[in-house]
Structure 1
Amino acid sequence: MRPSPRPASQVPTPFERSAISPAEHRVLALMLHGHSNGTIAETLALSRRTVEGHVSMLLRKTGCHSRTQLVLWALGQR
């Protein structure tokens, strides 16, 4: 059985791009290419925990509940 669609109040809404920090933007760009937190950390010379923090903040800022939803949200912002 398919889950019911989310009520409109739960769908992430667009926001100003300036709400995302430059570091979060770099992490999100690599997420769009399918990279894991570990790979992102290596690529950006950050700790894995720092990347996890950026992903967590991106989820909070966008209202998304998963990495997949965040990537889909980002693709819709282009």
Structure 2
Amino acid sequence: MAQRLVYPAIFDPTAILNHVQITMPDVPGVKVLGTSNEDAANKAATAAGKLLIKLKDELPVPSTPNELEVKPGQSVSFIVLDLDDFK
């Protein structure tokens, strides 16, 4: 059975010119750059999946979007992970 998780991510197009930076506050260590939202989201999903698969049963509880501190220009979206893809 697929183990799908959804975590909020902060998209920051202002971090570096012509790039989008994504951080996932609930998954420490995930900070990626992409050339577009889609590219950055794919990189963030891969990075988060590799980290979370190592945690096994100690998966962090996802925050709600209103719990995250977002600066001007940033937005919150969700990264959907299928942990079976990383096993």
Normalising by structure 1, we get a TM-score of 0.30
> Which structure shows the bigger proportion of residues in helix conformation?
1
> Which structure shows the bigger proportion of residues in strand conformation?
2
